[in-house]
Amino acid sequence: MTTVVPVEKKVLNENQRIAEQLRQRYAKGGTLCLNIISSPGSGKTTLLEKTLAGFSQKDKVAVLTGDLQTENDARRLARYGFPVQQIVTGTVCHLDGRMIERALEPWSSTEIELLFIENVGNLVCPSSYDLGEEAKIVVLSVTEGEDKPLKYPSIFSKAALMILTKVDLLPYVPFNLEQAKANARQVHPGIEIVELSCQTGQGFDIWQQWLTKRRSAARERFACAGA
Amino acid sequence: MTTVVPVEKKVLNENQRIAEQLRQRYAKGGTLCLNIISSPGSGKTTLLEKTLAGFSQKDKVAVLTGDLQTENDARRLARYGFPVQQIVTGTVCHLDGRMIERALEPWSSTEIELLFIENVGNLVCPSSYDLGEEAKIVVLSVTEGEDKPLKYPSIFSKAALMILTKVDLLPYVPFNLEQAKANARQVHPGIEIVELSCQTGQGFDIWQQWLTKRRSAARERFACAGA
């Protein structure tokens, strides 16, 4: 595997360069970009569906959603009336800066105030690729086990927020909620945590408050930069 | 990403070379090797725990289990009295042939009749790395959604068997079992399918029968090769 290391570094350096350009683009346009990462099936798309349903049509929200195959998620998300684009990666296990750059081309940089990126379902590789986002959000469903932050520390150490999804299933699965949170904090003491269920709506207000707080801060920064 | 392609090919070719050596080693020793792949938290370790509990101490079974971090799974599996080794991959998102080769070094090739490899929790990258196994098994829990075979076709097209786990949760999750099976068969018409729950034991006998059938066939092949 030694031969791959310098190339991997080169690829990551090149990605970093593009990520900086994306960051500048977001800053100039006043876009808050959130990069959502999880295992397949943790509920990223369902979370986004319910989140989009809570916005008004005046909200300048857009979504980029990545998958190896199918446009299913874009179809599901487009029903809410906001701009959505599917990025089909083929065999690539993560989204990278170049894919985001290309996907953003048709959109003007000032028409998006909040950009959600739903990464490819993979708890490992996407954590290495900066997409110029303001924050990474890691989604962990309670059916996956409380040990995941310890086993996949890279993404949990980089994420500003962990969303524990499917808490309505807690009565039926062997999942120690307190241990899960302690494990996440062991890897990343400052991580914020929201527990919610998209089925019952429990905890969804906390997630919306988190978003509102982040959007207000982004708006203030944008106003200051323009002043 | 163009620069990475030739190196990726080189790495995969080198892996293929080692995989062929592993295949020879398994054939010589009469070892049936099964490579178990899934998302994080689909229940690979729990499946293996329950499977090991069903063997007698005379069974020559061994397990290699891969994770980015922690030796938790090896500790869980070692309680059943069979040889178990953890492979900690650090930042690597899959097991490769070299890691298996190294892990097998302390074991004689004739002392293992059934070798389970529990891959790193990742539905994408492990599918590209041949470990010399007789069969790949993909594990999909019913909490992950029936669309996964279409979104991650590589692993579903390569797996001989799909194990649908956590079927005890079916009353509580929006999962269309028939659609999941149809999706898997769309990607891979010949895929075998077992539905089970490690919590209730439902369907576990079907999995054990699948194993018995595969072990008998491997034993026959080994006997013929030696004759």
What are B154-211's pLDDT values in tens digits? 999 999 999 999 999 999 999 999 999 999 999 999 999 999 999 999 999 999 999 9
Which of A128, A144, A172 comes nearest B169 by C-beta? A172
Q: Is the ipTM here above 0.95? A: no
pLDDT of residue A5: 61
Residues A187-221: tens digit of each pLDDT: 999 999 999 999 999 999 999 999 999 999 999 99
State the sign of the Cα–Cα–Cα–Cα dihedral A208, A214, A217, A221: negative
Q: Which residues of B touch A9 (CB under 8 A)?
A: none
Percent of chain A with pLDDT over 90: 89
**Fold of the CATH domain A4-217:** Rossmann fold (3.40.50)
Which of A7, A92, A154 comes nearest B3 by C-beta? A7
Q: Which residues of A touch B65 (CB under 8 A)?
A: none
Where does the pLDDT of residue B4 fall: very low under 50, low under 70, confident under 90, or very high at 90 and above? low
On the question of pLDDT at B3 being above 70, the answer is no
The mean pLDDT of A21-46, rounded to a whole number, is 97
A124 and B93 within 8 Å at the Cβ level: the answer is: yes
pLDDT of residue B26: 96
Longest Cα–Cα distance of chain B, Å, equals: 53
The mean pLDDT of A134-153, rounded to a whole number, is 98
pLDDT of residue B67: 97
Displacement of CA A122 from its chain's centroid (Å): 12
Where does the pLDDT of residue B2 fall: very low under 50, low under 70, confident under 90, or very high at 90 and above? very low
B40 and A152 within 8 Å at the Cβ level: the answer is: yes
pLDDT of residue A110: 81
Q: Which residues of B touch A154 (CB under 8 A)?
A: 68, 91
Of B70, B53, B224, B121, the residue nearest A140 (C-alpha): B121
Residues A80-128: tens digit of each pLDDT: 999 999 999 999 999 999 999 999 999 987 889 999 999 999 999 999 9
Cα distances (angstroms) measured from residue A99 to each of A58, A65, A130, A180, B113? 27, 11, 12, 33, 46
Tokens for A180? 């899960």
pLDDT of residue A227: 61
Mean pLDDT of chain A: 95
Mean pLDDT of chain B: 95
pLDDT of residue A1: 42
On the question of pLDDT at B109 being above 90, the answer is no
pLDDT of residue A2: 42
A8 and B3 within 8 Å at the Cβ level: the answer is: no
Percent of chain A with pLDDT over 70: 97
Which of A8, A92, A151 comes nearest B69 by C-beta? A151
What predicted TM-score, i.e. pTM, was given to this entire model?
A: 0.94
> Could you tell me how many CB contacts below 8 A there are between chain A and chain B?
133
Residue position matching structure tokens 């069903």: B54
Contact B129, B97 (CB under 8 A): yes
User: What CATH class is the domain B4-214?
Assistant: alpha beta
State the sign of the Cα–Cα–Cα–Cα dihedral B130, A88, A163, A40: negative
